[in-house]
Structure 1
Amino acid sequence: MKLLLHACCGPCSLEPLRLLLEAGHQITIAYMNSNIHPASEYDHRLRTMLDFAQSQGIEVVEGPYEPQAWANAAGVFGTDPDARPDRCRACYRLRLEEAASYAAANGFEGLATTLTVSPYQYIETIHEELEAACRKVGISPVFQDFREQYPEATRRSKALGMYRQNYCGCAFSKVEAAEEREQRKAERAAAKAKREEERAPQRAAEAAARAARKAEKEAYNEKQRRKHETLRKMREQNHEN
């Protein structure tokens, strides 16, 4: 199938591209991600994608970067954690509809996406939005859950020295990811403190045992010293007599 692969970044593209090529698809990558903030981040991810795609002989088409369009569609849901699923759905819809429209207008038979590599995404929502976007323009959705490939994609991208971002893309996700990292850091610190507290009695007992052994050794050495001193004096007295 002549397939357009919507790709969010280079690292997430590694395994989906490999598997879809192995399945016999003729692939062009679509970099259509107006969600990415700021523009410098968008450019960094695009450069990483282009470098990788060029090394594989894969064409990349870039959609217009329109952060305001994304803000109007998805940003309106704001930072409320309860609204995050709706915000992500609107984000998926905007990007997949853009990719599907391009695919239909340029002779592609189907559309797939790399979004499902990430274990942090809403996979069923992606599936629903991919099917809806393709249905609108009359092409085939090629959905695959790539989460099992996430560890291998991580390994490969590190081995290739790829830029690996630490948040999904939008300004909200950047803040949320930073907060989650701080929370995990605090949880690790609390767990470490708890382990230290639990081990404190054992460490105190071990320290007491070491102190007792040291005192016992010192007492033995002092006893031996006095013994040798007594013997020395006796030898000196016998020598004088």
Structure 2
Amino acid sequence: MNILLHQCCGPCSVYPVEILKGMGHSIAGYWFNPNIHPVTEYFKRFETLAQFNREENIPLFADNVYGVQEFTKNVAQDIANRCAYCYAIRLEAAAKKAKEEGFHAFTSTLFYSRYQNHELMKKIAQEISMRFAIDFFYHDFREGWQKGIDCSKERNMYRQPYCGCIYSEEDRYIRQINKKINSITSHS
């Protein structure tokens, strides 16, 4: 099949690309990640992904629009359910692009992450697939979690420390920050 692979970043692409190529699929990458904050992080991830795709001879379509304002506007009132919105906008954009460009199917490197809700993503992708009349190719890439990490480190790829949005950044660092604040204020 000719598959459009939505890519959230370079490191998360390593294992899915290996698997898809190993299955004999023809792939192209697609960058659409309006959730990533701050803008410097957004561009670090994009540059790393673009370099990876060049090295792997993977064509890359990029909707290079920094959309953090639109993203936060749509999740600010329901932060607990932000991931569902995030999955939906990125998978829908991938399906639309795949349809426009004549691909047989779409998928995403999001299915590589152990931290994402696979059942919810799969459900959303299947609904989008039906709505846009394009196949969704599902594979649970989590099986290669450690292999992807090891390979990305061997390649000296920039590895981001959190999922992407401002809220995931807070989740990642809040305990460390609070611990430091407490130790500083307890010594005052």
What is aligned with 1:69? 70
CA displacement 1:18-65 (0-9 Å, x = unmatched): 101111111010011000001111110000001011011111111133
The 8 Å contact of residues 73 and 94 in structure 1, kept in 2 or not, is answered as no
What is aligned with 1:127? 122
Displacement of 1:181 in angstroms is 5.5
Q: Distance in 1 between matches of 2:128 and 2:161?
A: 28
**Structure 1 stretches lacking a partner, 5+ long:** 187-241
CA displacement 1:212-239 (0-9 Å, x = unmatched): xxxxxxxxxxxxxxxxxxxxxxxxxxxx
Give percent identity, aligned residues only.
Answer: 36
CA displacement 1:153-173 (0-9 Å, x = unmatched): 110011100000110000000
Q: Distance in 2 between matches of 1:108 and 1:73?
A: 29
1:102-181 aligned at under 5 Å gives the runs 102-179=97-174
Give TM-score scaled by structure 1 length: 0.70
The 8 Å contact of residues 7 and 114 in structure 1, kept in 2 or not, is answered as yes
Q: Distance in 2 between matches of 1:126 and 1:91?
A: 10
Displacement of 1:179 in angstroms is 2.5
In structure 1, give the amino acid aligned to 2:23: A
Give TM-score scaled by structure 2 length: 0.90
CA displacement 1:85-112 (0-9 Å, x = unmatched): x210111001111111111111111001
- Report SS of the residue matched to 1:61: strand
CA displacement 1:73-92 (0-9 Å, x = unmatched): 334323xxxx2xx2101110
Q: Distance in 1 between matches of 2:91 and 2:104?
A: 15
CA displacement 1:134-166 (0-9 Å, x = unmatched): 211110000111112110111001110000011
Relative contact order higher in (CA < 8 Å, ≥ 6 apart): 2
Q: 1:23 to 1:67 in 2, by over 3 A?
A: same
| Regions of 4+ moved over 4 Å | 180-183
Q: Distance in 2 between matches of 1:144 and 1:159?
A: 24
Q: Distance in 2 between matches of 1:139 and 1:124?
A: 19
What is aligned with 1:198? none
What is aligned with 1:223? none
- Report SS of the residue matched to 2:36: coil
- Report SS of the residue matched to 1:163: coil
1:39-58 aligned at under 5 Å gives the runs 39-58=39-58
What is aligned with 2:90? 95
- Report SS of the residue matched to 2:77: helix
- Report SS of the residue matched to 2:27: strand
In structure 1, give the amino acid aligned to 2:75: A
Q: Distance in 2 between matches of 1:97 and 1:5?
A: 12
CA RMSD of aligned residues (A): 1.7
What is aligned with 2:186? none
The 8 Å contact of residues 73 and 91 in structure 1, kept in 2 or not, is answered as no
Larger helix proportion of the pair: 1
The alignment covers a number of residue pairs equal to 179
Q: Distance in 2 between matches of 1:145 and 1:181?
A: 32
In structure 1, give the amino acid aligned to 2:27: I
Structure ID, larger Rg: 1
The 8 Å contact of residues 70 and 94 in structure 1, kept in 2 or not, is answered as no
